[in-house]
Amino acid sequence: MFITLEGVDGAGKSSHLDWLKNWFELRGHRVRMTREPGGTPMGEKLRELVLHDSMHPDTEALIMFAARREHIEQVIRPALAAGEVVISDRFTDASFAYQCGGRGLSESRLAVLESWVHADLHPDATLLFDLPTEIAAQRLASAREPDRFEREKTDFHARVRAAYLRRAEQFPQRIRVIDGSRDIESVRLQLTSVLESLT
């Protein structure tokens, strides 16, 4: 099973990664945790570029998909073939949210990249952590040193959130929206309900 976590910066998805891993392991599954951009030695180098260096939006999108190609071939496909549950902190929905929604790139152009890089591979389920951008901004204000995306203005993050919610409307069977504004126990109750429906 291939599961991805998505959401605006500050939505809290990373807080639940270890919990998700443990949930599957307690049920007898081997779990591979990974992230995007990153997940491979080359992907981590590209991650540093895209999170910290200024660049054209097209370049940003191409780097994301270059890192994704390595990630799929070196990590995701081998783990799935070995019978593992793969949990990835972000995948292609993030490109549609950040590069299309946030940066304004054409969805049709990204769809070409998606088809080229992984036409036959899509997540079995996507957990979309959603919350108002104002709350996300408050959380980020007390976090670590922000990266290039986290430093963007509120309207950028509002566009990203709107793009994520459009994706959820497009793919309701795959993308499950989790109310990330609630306390951690309430979020995990939502997650448990979704996971039990998948397994």
Instruction: Look up tokens 């990373």; give the residue.
Output: 14
**pLDDT tops 80 at residue 10:** no
pTM assigned to the model:
0.93
Looking at the structure of the chain, the number of domains it has is 1
pLDDT digits (tens, 9 = 90+) for 42-71: 999 999 999 999 999 999 999 999 999 999
pLDDT at 22: 97
Domain that holds residue 156: 2-198
Cα 160 to Cα 77: distance, rounded to the nearest angstrom? 28
CATH number at residue 80: 3.40.50.300
